[in-house]
Structure 1
Amino acid sequence: MYELGDRLRVAREAAGISLSRMAAKTHYSKTYLWQLEHGERTVNPDHVTAYSRALNVGVDALYGPSLDPLRLAHEWLVSDTPVAVHRAAGRRVGRSLAENLEHRVIELRHLDDTVGGGDLSPLVQRELAEAADVVNSGSYTEQVGRRLRVVVGELAQLAGWVASDAGAYLQAERTYLDGVSAAREAGDTALVGQLFSSLAYQMANVGDPADAQLLAKSAVTGARRASPVVRTLLLERLAWASARARDRDATRRALDEVDIAFDQRTVDVPEPEWVYWMSRDEIDVMAGRCLIDLGDPVAAAPLLTGAIDRYDDAHVREMALYRTWLAESFARAGEVDAAREALDRARTDAANVTSARLVRRIGEIELLVRDR
């Protein structure tokens, strides 16, 4: 954010415009602009657009030549979806291959329920590379091409997710952003939102929570016409990023909107298969996690306990992760014995799962419980 603010300052000074004049052009106060330019306030896409218009320079010139996810989110929100262009080569690709790839994505996605990212990541990456090669080198109709690009976008989301679970964060970010390109070309705004919010989730956990909150908000805004359960998922990740950024009001608002969106689901509105796992229990788990980060572990514990009691034991990694949150809620509430018991069960669940995310999380809670 400091680097982006500095670019805004450099562009303004290069145009020979004072802060006072810039304030008049943008309708932001002089003090507010100074804070943006010196990294004391978070620069969001609206600020960049205001500078772009006031200085008559392109948005790209202000963001700089990078694959910054915030820049891509901004481009997604303000530009039309690009027309899919492909090189016609080789044998024509038909609907049958598209259908086979679509079914394969579903199989891999459900496999992630029971297999850790360290084991699954190489397989998904290979499948993604093969699907992308079909898109780049195949010959197909416009309709088939759109389906193939959706497959690439969905595979990129899954590949990014399992790479992140395996601790390969940079690889995950690059994969998510590649998926954004495919989903945009397919015109699938809900999938674009899923990819951006997945990256925001990673950023909230291992990066800058303020940036994660902005990216998650962009995902929600860009997919405003998405189906109810998709919006539920995107709003959940916004709530988590807001909680990690210690933005209590934004977290509460997002959690309220999660409930509203989920209650709007209906059999008459189709949902993409990739939200199959979203449920009231998942909502309770996320609400509990957010409450812990907001300093209310007592209220979090019953939400987590109820969801864990109803959860399918086959989902070992998720069970272990959820138990670490339960252990944290107990530890922060001063119930150290209950925290140790929950942590011991998390360790047992994690014994046969290859997940760097789970290992890191257990290590964090071990330190917390030990200090209590």
Structure 2
Amino acid sequence: MSTNDGSDGQAHDVDVVVIGAGQAGLSAAYYLRKFGVPPESGFVVLDHAAGPGGAWQFRWPSLTLSTVNGVHDLPGMSFAETTGTDSEQVPASAAVPHYFELYEKKFDLPVHRPVHTRVVCPREERLRIETDRGVFNARGLINATGTWERPFIPHYRGAETFHGRQLHTRDYRSAHEFDGKHVVVVGGGISAVQLLDEISQVTTTTWVTRREPQFRDEPFTPDIGREAVAMVEDRVRRGLPPGSVVSVTGLPVTPAIRAARKRGALTRRPMFSEILPYGVRWEDGTSIDADAILWCTGFRSSLDHLAPLHLRGPGGGIEMTGRLATQVASDPRVHLVGYGPSSSTIGANRAGQAAVAELTSFLELH
């Protein structure tokens, strides 16, 4: 793997730049090699993080391989090859980065890190990728920056007056940091329920969501997954922002969830209307005291560096096209993997292959 970081002040001409070395970025890099695009001279991968692992390296320690919502194999190398027989309690933040590191080495992927991509600008027939380690002029771009860098916290009246602690899912480390405190957990996704379960075992909690959560007692089937992906794909093909996959798939009922139900931790309340200095209040005037608010309210796509390309439509979404909706309709040189229908770990692999096939054909690289 090359260590050339492009910091010599000169612009580097390559055919394809991949931004991001998470599941989607590594999948794209693998297929670029498989399609015959040479590393370094033909393509490079620019990764913001200091080490391998994508967003996995920043997950909370209690998220182990037994509780994580699936780690899908990257193409050409199974995750099981890198884990031991007693790996169920190993933190995902250690196991997955180890897997990614071995993967990068095995396929000699040209990952440059840490590289912060500042902005991508159109420059005639090429795209100018400006970074803190130099400039790359590329004929095509595969953006795989994911969402971890853009946590979303909705604004509620009085938020700035709250005397307690407010934090997002990405800031969470351990339930025990809330010992003796009342915690309001906001959000109806899988992460919200997992963290609510942990915290409710050591202290008191209140769970609030905008919509009534839908639990799924039956096993997750391929049909359910396809329905969720189809919903999101339809939205991005129409230029709309991606929707919530959980709204289609529902929340899986695990043994931990059943135990949380017995403890009364899953008694859900609707969203509050106002944040008070020492709690929250609902529209009907009722209120509770709280020491902390944990916002499990999701993320937004990290695409600010692409703003000069003017990819977004009037509604804030990006119209996507291509076999798996990875190609930007207004600029076929640009593919977004890990966006919309390819935001899952399974979808990221398929999207990486489709994006590479379409981009290399468009650029006539094979």
**Relative contact order (C-alpha < 8 Å, sep 6+): which is higher?**
2
Please identify which structure carries the higher strand content. Answer: 2
Same fold (TM over 0.5): no
Please identify which structure carries the higher helix content. Answer: 1
Compute the TM-score of the two structures, normalised by the length of structure 2: 0.24
Compute the TM-score of the two structures, normalised by the length of structure 1: 0.24
